[in-house]
Amino acid sequence: MSVPTHKARHVAIIMDGNGRWAKKRHLPRAMGHKKGVDAVRRLVKAAREMGLEALTLYAFSTENWSRPEDEISALMGLMKAFILADLDEFAKAGVRLKIIGDYNKFSADVVELIEGALARTAANTGTTLVVALNYGSQDEIARAATKAAAKGAITPEAIAAELDTADLPPLDLLIRTSGEVRLSNFLLWQAAYAEMYFTEVLWPDFTPAHLEEALAEFAARERRYGGR
């Protein structure tokens, strides 16, 4: 795989389009989510090979609880299957798992699996796979501001230090699949100076080659951080 000369350290992806992928094929939405998990597997491996320090994936938002109960149940089942099937490979490859958001809202068996996976990969020093679960950026910012206020003055630096992502490199590139052009309450603070990349590709069809294309475009952009 080619590596961009102007290299991103931290990439985040809004994985959108599972339902539309299934609908186009006259399949149940659950099948779209299953294929979406397959895409996650491909991308995590590619992120390691490309040398990304962090890959953040928007898996389940605070708004997703409004979806039909059977769809939420299917998503939870896929999450458990993903952890059980892939944890060994991640651990051996040096991937560190990190969760942002309040995963304690999930069922006890899911929480137990997540905490076991976090503990098992905590000492790994390779790519950090960050999974946003029951995550909403506005809630994150409110929590961070509350913690900052309890310690003293509320400044941008004080809030940033209390964010769920405080231990990660700054966000370089945010990708959204499926043609939607919005952030959907994802990493609003972190995306302040991140580059944006929107693609029509539905998430189950998103491949390492598509990630390379996004990184190549990122490499060609001039990042000014508000300057000239």
- Indicate which residues carry an active-site annotation: 16, 64
DSSP single-letter state for residue 225:
T
CA-wise closest residue to 106 among 97, 115, 98: 115
CA-wise closest residue to 64 among 95, 90, 29, 39: 29
CA-wise closest residue to 170 among 54, 61, 57, 59: 54
Alpha-carbon torsion 67, 72, 181, 191, what sign?
A: positive
Question: Helices (H) and strands (E) in the chain — how many of each?
Answer: 7, 6
